Chain A
Amino acid sequence: ENQVEHSPHFLGPQQGDVASMSCTYSVSRFNNLQWYRQNTGMGPKHLLSMYSAGYEKQKGRLNATLLKNGSSLYITAVQPEDSATYFCAGGYQKVTFGTGTKLQVIP
């Protein structure tokens, strides 16, 4: 059974800090790993995808790295509008999500 775990469950950085979060996964068949962001009351939105261990991707203030059995996501110079829950998801066709990291930026 596919499993995805997040760390930490909650993050409360000050505005302007770097927020760092990670996930580990155990999936029956790997295709790619994706990061999503969910604002309260809305559906998750795709941020980026990664395809092989060692893969790094930068998108604006987001920087993600794919590790052998997990991924890390860094958000530099966090702003209050970055406050949301961040999920990684993996699996071939059967895309499994973790419980996410809730980010609350302190202004």
Chain B
Amino acid sequence: DAGVIQSPRHEVTEMGQEVTLRCKPISGHDYLFWYRQTMMRGLELLIYFNNNVPIDDSGMPEDRFSAKMPNASFSTLKIQPSEPRDSAVYFCASSRGELFFGEGSRLTVL
């Protein structure tokens, strides 16, 4: 299996622009998680899905963040409009028990 696939690996954008991060989970995994990692706050859980349904989005910082999982093989995390404080590495992970992480998307908002 190819593992969890995230794109893009790096994104540099200007404040105010829309950012869309993408994730393809491992086939057969019924949980999908989005995490954000910064030096100051470590790995923060933003939202997780079970069988494509959002279960807990209490970690989503504010209304500028949204996530969707239209089917079992694809999820997006969107930030609109982006701000410099959103700069971080965003990880997607899928699970049937332990979590399998993608390589992350490093976002820089100027």
Contact = CB atoms under 8 A, between A and B. Distances in A.
Interface of A: 34, 36, 42-46, 49, 87, 89, 93-100
A49 B97 contact: yes
24 contacts: A34-B98, A34-B99, A36-B99, A42-B104, A43-B4, A43-B93, A45-B101, A46-B98, A46-B100, A49-B97, A87-B43, A93-B50, A93-B55, A94-B45, A94-B55, A95-B33, A95-B48, A95-B95, A96-B45, A97-B35, A97-B43, A99-B41, A99-B43, A100-B43
A44 B91 CA distance: 9
- Summarize B's interface: helix, strand, loop or mixed: strand
Interface residues of B, number: 23
B45 A44 contact: no
Given A49-B98, A95-B45, A100-B43, 10 more contacts: A42-B104, A44-B43, A44-B99, A44-B101, A94-B45, A95-B33, A95-B48, A96-B45, A97-B43, A98-B42
